[in-house]
C-alpha cells in the first residue's frame, strides 16, 4: 500500500507555499520600489575646479594636528605676493593667467601658466615672491596643510633679487 499524505496536509503545504511566495514577492517589490526611489534622487556630483601637473618630488609632513584649507587666490595684473614663506605645505594649481615665481635663495625665476602645479616648500629658508606681469588676473586654486593656528604664510625679508618686481 502506498503512503499518501492526507488531503488536509497537502492543502496546508500549498497554503504555506503560496504565503511564502507572496511574502517573497512583496519583499522583492519593496526592494525594487526602494531602488527606484533612491535612483530617482539627486545623484552625487563632482566638479573639477582646476587641475595641473608638477614634476616636483614632495612629501607632506603631518607630525600633529593639521588644519586644511582649500581656497582660490587671485593676483591682479601688476600685483605681487611680496616676499614670504609658508608655515605649512601648500599645493597650488594655476587655473588662468601667468605667474612668475622668484626664488629667494638664488633669484631664479619660474614662469607658471594654466595647468601648472606647484608644491611650495616650507620654512624661512624658502622665501619666494610671486608676481603677475601679464594683462589678465592669475587665478590659483590652493590647498594648504597647516599646523593648527598657523597662517598661510609669513612675511620674509627681501633678499635683494632685482627681478622681483
Question: Residue 30 pLDDT > 60, yes or no?
Answer: no
Predicted confidence (pLDDT) at residue 50 exceeds the cutoff of 80:
yes
Q: Say what the pLDDT of residue 25 is.
A: 46
Q: Are 138 and 72 in contact (CB under 8 A)?
A: no
- For residue 25, how many C-alpha atoms fall within 13 Å in the half-sphere facing its CB? 6
Cβ atoms < 10 Å from Cβ of 83 = 19
Of 26-30, 84-88, 92-96, 98-102, the one with minimum mean pLDDT is 26-30
* Average model confidence (pLDDT) across the chain: 81
Q: What pLDDT is attached to residue 22?
A: 44
| More confident of the two residues 49 and 87 | 87
Show Cβ contacts of residue 80 under 8 Å, excluding neighbours closer than 6 positions: 129, 130, 131, 132, 164, 165
Range with the poorest average pLDDT among 7-11, 37-41, 90-94: 7-11
Cα dist from 147 to 89, 92, 105, whole Å: 9, 18, 24
Q: Looking at the predicted structure, is the pLDDT value of residue 15 above 60? A: no
Amino acid at each position: 500500500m502506498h503512503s499518501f499524505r492526507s488531503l488536509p496536509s497537502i492543502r496546508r503545504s500549498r497554503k504555506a507555499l503560496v504565503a511564502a511566495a507572496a511574502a517573497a514577492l512583496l519583499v522583492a517589490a519593496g526592494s525594487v520600489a526602494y531602488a527606484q526611489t533612491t535612483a530617482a534622487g539627486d545623484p552625487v556630483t563632482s566638479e573639477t575646479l582646476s587641475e595641473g601637473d608638477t614634476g616636483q618630488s614632495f612629501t607632506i609632513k603631518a607630525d600633529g594636528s593639521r588644519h586644511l584649507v582649500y581656497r582660490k587666490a587671485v593676483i591682479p595684473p601688476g600685483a605681487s605676493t611680496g616676499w614670504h614663506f609658508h608655515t605649512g605645505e601648500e599645493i597650488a594649481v594655476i587655473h588662468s593667467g601667468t605667474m612668475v615665481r622668484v626664488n629667494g635663495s638664488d633669484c631664479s625665476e619660474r614662469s607658471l601658466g594654466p595647468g601648472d602645479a606647484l608644491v611650495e616648500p616650507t620654512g624661512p629658508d624658502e622665501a619666494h615672491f610671486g608676481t603677475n606681469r601679464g594683462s589678465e588676473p592669475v587665478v590659483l586654486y590652493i590647498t594648504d596643510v597647516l599646523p593648527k593656528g598657523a597662517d598661510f604664510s609669513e612675511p620674509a625679508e627681501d633678499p635683494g633679487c632685482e627681478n622681483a618686481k
